[in-house]
Amino acid sequence: MVEFMRLRARHWSRTAFAMAILFAAMAVGSRIVLGVWPFDGSLEISVLCVLVGAYFHIAGRWRAAALPDPAVLLNQAFDLATSGRIDDAVALLTRAIRQSPHLWQALQYRGELYLVQQNFAAAARDFSEAIRLAPQEQHLYSLRERANGPAGAA
């Protein structure tokens, strides 16, 4: 979602800059070719488009820097889990999944932590979602079988 918003801001920034060039070119071109300024407000509109383009350019960069990289969150969750703070690691992985819903590795790792906590239903849900996102990853199927196995059915 964040990447989509960043790309959208970049798109609007480029569009605003293109419109600024267009309006400025219309004013300058008509002055050179016709010798008059037939588009009275075109320079003002051009400046306004430059300002809007600058806003979207900065907003797109700020959004990207404001949220941590999902890989960093995965590493932090791994560190938390190895230090025994599994609940904190699960919360951090949940945040990473909300930030990047297509990050199947976070779903896999959270499912593995649910297995450690013997929360088999939640583990099976996470593995099933990870399989939906990455069906070519064969190890996810065996993890889901482990979650649905005899201990998971009990």
Q: In CATH, what number is assigned to the domain containing residue 124?
A: 1.25.40.10
Task: Decide which of 44 and 38 is more confident.
Answer: 44
Q: Strand runs (DSSP E) across 1-154, as ranges?
A: none
Residue 150's pLDDT is 59
66, 93, 112 - which closes a domain:
66
User: Residues 98, 49: one domain?
Assistant: no
Q: Which of 43-47, 79-83, 149-153 has the highest mean pLDDT?
A: 79-83
Q: Domain tally for the chain?
A: 2
State yes or no: pLDDT of 94 exceeds 60: yes
Q: What tens digit of pLDDT does each residue of 39-70 get?
A: 778 888 888 989 999 998 888 776 555 567 78
149, 132: one domain: yes
Measure the CA–CA gap between 145 and 105, rounded to whole angstroms. 17
Contact, 45 vs 23, CB < 8 A? yes
Residues 87-119 as b/e (b if ≥16 CB within 10 A, e otherwise) read eebbebbebbbebbeebbbbbbbbbbbbbeeeb
What pLDDT is stored for residue 154 in this prediction?
A: 45
Q: How confident is the model at residue 33 (pLDDT cuts 50, 70, 90)?
A: confident
Q: Contact 49/19 with Cβ under 8 angstroms?
A: yes
- Residue 7 CB neighbour total at 10 angstroms: 12
Residue 36 DSSP code: S
Task: Tell whether 92 and 148 lie within a shared domain.
Answer: yes
Q: Are residues 103 and 28 in the same domain?
A: no
| Residue 35, C-beta contacts closer than 8 angstroms, at least 6 positions apart | none
Domain range enclosing 92: 70-153
Q: What is the pLDDT of residue 42?
A: 80
Average pLDDT across the chain, whole number? 86
Contact between 90 and 113 (Cβ < 8 Å): yes
Residue 89 — pLDDT band, cuts 50, 70, 90?
A: very high
Cβ–Cβ < 8 Å for 73, 106? yes
Predicted TM-score (pTM) of the model is 0.57
Percent of the chain predicted with pLDDT > 70: 90
Neighbour tally for 70: CB within 10 Å: 20
CA atoms within 13 A on the CB side of 152: 19
Distances 16 to 5, 33, 62, 116 between C-alpha atoms, Å: 16, 25, 18, 52
Q: Average pLDDT for residues 9-30, to the nearest whole number?
A: 87
Residues 7 and 80 in one domain: no
